[in-house]
Chains A and B, each alone.
Chain A
Amino acid sequence: MSGGASGETYSAAVARAFRAWDWFWFTPTRPHTLCLLRVLTGAMLLYCHLVLASDLEAFVGPDAWINNDMARQLHDGAFGDADWARSYLWHIESPTLIWTHHLVTITVTAMMMFGAATRVTVPLSLFLQLMYLHRLTPALFGLDQIVTYTTMYLAFTPCGACFSVDAWLRNKGAAKGKASSIRRWMFQDDRPSVAANIGTRLLQLHLCVIYMFGGLSKARGGSWWDGSAVWYAVANYEYQSLDMTWLSGYPGLLLGLSLATLFWEVFYCALVWPRVSRPFVLAVAVGVHGGIALFLGMSTFGLMMIIANGIFVAPSLLQSKDQREFDQMLASIEQDDDDGDEPPDDYEDIDLLNEVQDDERQRLNRKREKVANAASRVKRRYRALKKREEKYESRVKRLREREAKIKKFVERRKQKGEPELEGDDE
């Protein structure tokens, strides 16, 4: 089947789409951005649990605003369709058990924030959070959504690889010698991984879905088009944290803010990917959510949305100088120096791939060969280094054994009261 103006066949277009999919999801990425998100999301989740602790029995337990039976009936089909939102907290009546459970939750969440045993504590934090969500159904709002989703995507990524207790322990353990496979899994390192990329992509896409539907929902209302929506938001007494009613004198500004919010939300999913528009889209995100945090009484929600938008920050900004240089060196191997063409970039590659023509494909094939050759050179070099490392390790081992023997010999001599060997210090 022949294609359109580009002359590309359908099968070639399908193959190209598969390559784009493969690149988008399966390109290993450094986990630094996720690690920073783990710290910030963990802190927010911890704060949520601490605030809940300040009035725990009003929200969990048999005497809560929504008692256990009612919380269960909201999900078990008593008043409509049953759903899968289940929680064992519906069945806990004892205040002691409720408090013990909550203290465990706080501890686990704090461990997530500090990055201790993250392979276990992040998924566990997610599970505990879900149990609370299905118990607190009527008391939830946007914050609970975004903090849960961020935790969910962090749960299966190596988000404890840096800025964490795990990283500290890993470095400490590395000095002692080779680590077991379990230890390596527990104390993950910050090498590029597919898991980090998938977690990053899923959160990015989820944000796009949130904003797109948020924008489309707003577009259905008349007040977002005539500017009154922003007025009704800032003049809502229950939300208000700073008095912004002076805006009533500036209808033009209200309209501008209203339309800017509407268009930004609708087009976020398209404009956040190209490198050129991304900084502006993220800057507006900071402005909109900062405004919600400061003026609409939802500092936690606003802050958490800004944190989640951080997923679009490149990991290289958070890496050490040495590591960044190393990554650049690897990237330079893959670069085509002849024509100065850029390699596939994180977010603008889909556009790039769209422009690839048949003659360019041949050039890319040559480039791929070049990269493959370079990779095999790197592999050879790596194997040679590994051999050297093994030799070095065996030598160190021998020396240590010899040292131990000498020490043992000296100890024995001392015990027998024999004079020390010549050359020993006095």
Chain B
Amino acid sequence: MSQQEDRDEDALLDDVSDIETRSLSTRTKSIVSAVIVFHLLAVFMPPLLFQTRSMVLGGSPLIRSASRPFLGYGQFLYLDRGYAFFAPDPGPSRVIQVAVVNEDGTISETILPDRERQWPRLLYHRHFMLTEYLSESYVEPGPPEILIETAPEDAEWWRRGRARYEDLRQSMVDHLRGLHPGKEVALRRLVHYIPSREDYEVEPIALNDLRLYEVLLDQATYEVIAEPSTEVIPPPSVEGEPQELPPTTGDPENTPADSEPSEEGVQPGVPEGTQQ
């Protein structure tokens, strides 16, 4: 009999012997079952909590309480995910535009992520996720005075969210400065829209056409919302007198947000990070 055959026979004998040893005791099974149940709940609760999230409550209080025992365990094992891939609706991408002022005064602009420079695709995708994360983290300047007065706790969360966004952006600007020592660097967030199928059928536009990009301004919008949006109807003009039209808030030229610099002093349309 060859050695290989001996080994096969041994393996088969071991398998048979396993019949004797493979049965776990009831106590062991109970402990293992408890661990399994705990783990499965740690897997199940985060996406459930994610699904129950709403703009107002930020997650069902009941599910949040029920999730608490599993939170830390899930966070360490990276189980605290929502699994909402391309959901609820696939939307436009959020990218960044980087502007570098060269020594001769010219400006080099690039959009990140960049397929040409970031290769292989996985590296490109990591950069893409960074730009998406920056926009996801965006919290507009604030909080408004009225919120500070009426809901100081919410105002504090607003402030923290804003600080988080600003620190993230600053970290990215610092990285870019490291890549371009001695040069002025700025970045701004862009949204890259996708043409609807119907529009594309009518006009098959290139998907990277510049018309599909829009600069995301870093400015407070609540001031615009706070303004009354109803149009004041002018009284009927008296014959012989010139008619005077009141300004409307719908006109972007007259919005306070546009007319005043935002909290950090970044003018609309000016790349973020230039003031850092």
Contact = CB atoms under 8 A, between A and B. Distances in A.
B129 to A, nearest CB: 5
Contacts of B133: 137-139
Interface in B119-137: 120-130, 133-134
Interface-centre pick from A48, A171, A213 (highest chain B CB count, 10 A): A213
Interface in A162-178: 171, 174-175
A273 to B, nearest CB: 16
A389 B120 contact: no
Interface stretch (B192-200, B217-225, B249-257, B261-269): B192-200
A191 B129 contact: no
Interface-centre pick from A22, A205, A240, A248 (highest chain B CB count, 10 A): A248
A386 interface: yes
Contacts of B174: 63, 67
Given A59-B126, A64-B175, A189-B14, A171 B7 contact: yes
B13 A386 contact: yes
B interface, over-half SS: helix
Interface stretch (B102-110, B144-152, B165-173, B230-238): B165-173
B91 interface: yes
Contacts of A219: 88
A45 B268 CA distance: 43
Q: On chain B, which size bracket covers the interface? A: 35 or more
Nearest to B4: A171
A305 to B, nearest CB: 10
A263 interface: no
B175 A221 contact: no
Interface string A15-57: 0000001100110100000000000000000011001101100
Contact of B129 (A64, A74, A138, A217): A138
A300 interface: yes
A148 interface: yes
Contact of A235 (B47, B126, B194): B194
Given A67-B174, A217-B88, 19 more contacts: A65-B130, A65-B171, A65-B175, A66-B130, A80-B157, A80-B160, A139-B130, A141-B129, A148-B77, A191-B14, A192-B15, A192-B18, A202-B40, A217-B84, A238-B113, A298-B121, A298-B125, A378-B19, A379-B16
Interface of B: 3, 6-8, 10-20, 22, 24, 29, 32-33, 36, 39-40, 43-44, 47-48, 50-51, 71-73, 75-93, 95, 113, 118, 120-130, 133-134, 157, 160-161, 163-164, 167-168, 171-172, 174-175, 178, 192, 194-197, 200-201, 204, 207-208, 212
Interface of A: 21-22, 25-26, 28, 47-48, 51-52, 54-55, 58-59, 63-67, 69-70, 73-74, 78-80, 83-86, 130, 133-134, 136-145, 148-149, 152, 171, 174-175, 189-194, 198, 202, 205-206, 209-210, 213-214, 216-224, 228-229, 231-233, 235-241, 245, 248-249, 251, 254, 297-300, 322-323, 326, 330, 375, 378-379, 381-382, 385-386, 389
